[in-house]
Chains A and B, each alone.
Chain A
Amino acid sequence: MPISLEKIGFKTLKLKIMGPLIPNDIIPFEWNSIIAIVIGIFFGFILEASGFSSSRKLAGVFYGYDFAVLKVFFTAAIVSLIGLLYMDYLGYVDMSRLYVHPTYLWGAIIGGAVMGIGFVTGGFCPGTSLCAVAIGKIDAIVNVIGIMIGIFIFSELFTFFEPIYNGYFQGNITLMDSLDVNPYWFVFILTVVAILMFAASDLIRKRVKKVFY
C-alpha cells in the first residue's frame, strides 16, 4: 500500500498562485491604476481593430449585412467563460471571489431594453463610442455627450427611477442559482448555440443586400 506523504506528517507544498491577484494581495493595490490603463489599452485596441469604431458596422448586426458584433461578442463571452471555468477547476482562480454583476430583475430588463433602443438609434454603445471618439468620429463625440446627458437625466430624476433601480433585487446570483444548471453543461450548450448562430448569420448575410460603408 502506498504511503501518502500527508499521512506521515508532511504537508503537500502548494505553489499555485491563486487569483484574483489584487483582491488576494498578491499584487499590491497601488498597481491598480497602472494595470487599469494597460488593460484599457488592450481593450480599446481590440475593439477598434475589430471595427467597433464604425457605427455602420455595429448596426449591421440588426439588419443582417454585418454580423461582426454578434461574432466578436459571443466568441469573447464563450472564450472567457471556458477559460475562467478551467482556471477555477485547475485551482488558478477562485471563481467565488470574482465580482458577479448583481441581478435586479426589472432593472436589467428595462435598462437593457432602453439600451437596445439607444443602440439601434445611435449605432454605438459606450465602449465602442469611446473607441470612435479616439479616432475622431464626430458622431461618436455627440453620442458620448448624449450618454452623459442621459446619466445626468437619470441622476436628476433618480427618485422616479429608484423603484426599478433598487427593486426586485435577487443578489449577486449566477445562472447556477437561478436555473439550477451545471455550469459545464451550460457552457457546452451555449457554445453549440453560438456556433449555430454564427453559421446562420453567414447564411443570412449572403441573402441580404450588401451595404458598403
Chain B
Amino acid sequence: MKDTKEQNRHIYWNPYFGGFLLGILIIITFYITGRGLGASGAMKSSVVTIVDDVSHEHAEQSAYYSKFVSDDKSPMNNWIVFETLGVLIGAFISGGLAGRIGWRVQHSPKITRRRRLIFALIGGVLFGVGAQIARGCTSGAALSGMAVLSTGGFITMLAIFGTGYLFAYFFRKNWI
C-alpha cells in the first residue's frame, strides 16, 4: 500500500504547474489563431464524415450535418481535427516518457471491468449529446470561453461542474 501512495503523489506533474502551462498555451493559441482550444469538434467532424460516406443524400438533407458538409472540402480538413491529431501525439509522447502506455481498463477494484466499460459508454453518449447542445465541451466552451470572459463559457463551466457534484452521489460506487 505504501508504494501506491508514493506513486499517487509523484507520477504526475504538480497541478498548478500543469495549469500554468495550459494557461500559457491558451494565450499562445489565442495570440496566433484568434480562437481557443477544442476537442469534441474533431469527433463531430468524424461523425459527419462517416455519415457522409455512408449516405451522402442523408447528410445533405439533414439540417445538422448539412452545415458541415461541402462539396469542395472534406469535413476532416479542419483546424480542430489537426489539433486533435496533435493531442494524440502529445499524450502518447508524455505517456511514453513516463512509462504509462499499455492496453488496460482502469476501474475501481469494487466494480467489474464490464461495468466500467458500460458506464464509460453511457458517459460518452451523454457527453456527446451535451457537447452538441452547448456547442462545445469542457475545452472548447468552458475553458476557452472563460479565457475571453464569454458568458456562455462561464455558464457551461458552472453547469458541468454543478451537475457533476449533484449527481456524484448516485455514481459513487463506481469510483470510491
Across-interface contacts of B165 in A (CB, < 8 A): 62
With a cutoff of 8 Å between Cβ atoms, the chain B residues found around residue A176 in the complex are: 149
* Per-position 1/0 for B10-45, Cβ under 8 A of A: 011101101111111111111111111111100110
Docked CA distance A104–B144 (Å): 16
Taken together as a complex, chains A and B put the C-alpha atoms of A46 and B87 apart, in Å, by: 9
The reply on A89 being an interface residue by CB < 8 A is: no
- A200 at interface (Cβ–Cβ under 8 A)? no
**Interface membership of chain A positions 143-187, coded 1 if the CB is closer than 8 angstroms to chain B and 0 otherwise:** 111111111111110110110110000101111111100010010
Q: Is the CB of A174 within 8 A of B151?
A: yes
Contact of B159 among A53, A56, A84, A116 (CB under 8 A): A116
Among B1, B123, B161, chain A packs the most CB atoms within 10 A around the CB of B123
**Which residues of B have CB within 8 Å of A114?**
126-127, 129-130, 133, 163
- Nearest-CB distance from A81 to chain B (Å)? 6
Contact with B along A67-85 (1 / 0, CB 8 A): 1100111111111110110
- Say yes or no: B106 contacts A146, CB within 8 Å: no
Within 8 A of B (CB), among A116-139: 116-127, 129-139
B residues near A53, Cβ cutoff 8 Å: 91, 95, 100
Contact assessment for B127 and A146 in the assembled complex, using a CB-CB cutoff below 8 Å: yes
Partner among B27, B104, B137 whose Cβ is within 8 Å of the Cβ of A84: B27
On whether A147 and B125 interact (CB within 8 A), knowing A46-B25, A155-B47, the answer reads: yes
| Residue of B89, B91, B167 with most chain A CB atoms under a 10 A cut-off | B91
Residue of A nearest to B33 (CB): A22
Q: In the bound complex, do residue A44 and residue B122 qualify as a contact, i.e. CB atoms below 8 Å apart?
A: no
Q: How many residues of B contact A (CB 8 A)?
A: 126
Main secondary structure of the interface of B (DSSP, over half): helix
Interfacial chain A residues near B33, Cβ < 8 Å: 20-23, 32, 35-36, 39
Q: Give the chain B neighbours of A92 by CB distance below 8 A.
A: 31
A118 in contact with B90 (CB, 8 Å): no
Number of interface residues of A (CB under 8 A): 135
A193 near B: Cβ within 8 Å? Answer: no
- Say which residue of A19, A38, A60, A113 sits within 8 Å of B86 (CB atoms): A38
**Beta-carbon contact of B95 and A47 below 8 Å:** no
Residues of B contacting A109 in the complex (Cβ-Cβ under 8 angstroms): 155, 159
Most buried by A among B117, B126, B174: B126
Q: How far is the CB of B166 from chain A (nearest CB, A)?
A: 7
Q: Are A113 and B82 in contact (CB under 8 A)?
A: no
Please tell me if the beta carbons of B106 and A55 are within 8 angstroms of each other in the complex: yes
A154 in complex: contacting residue of B34, B101, B121, B128, CB < 8 Å:
B128
**Apart from A39-B86, A111-B141, A143-B121, 6 more pairs, CB < 8 Å:** A63-B172, A65-B176, A80-B147, A101-B145, A143-B127, A164-B133
3 pairs of A and B residues whose beta carbons are closest in the complex: A122-B123, A40-B86, A150-B128
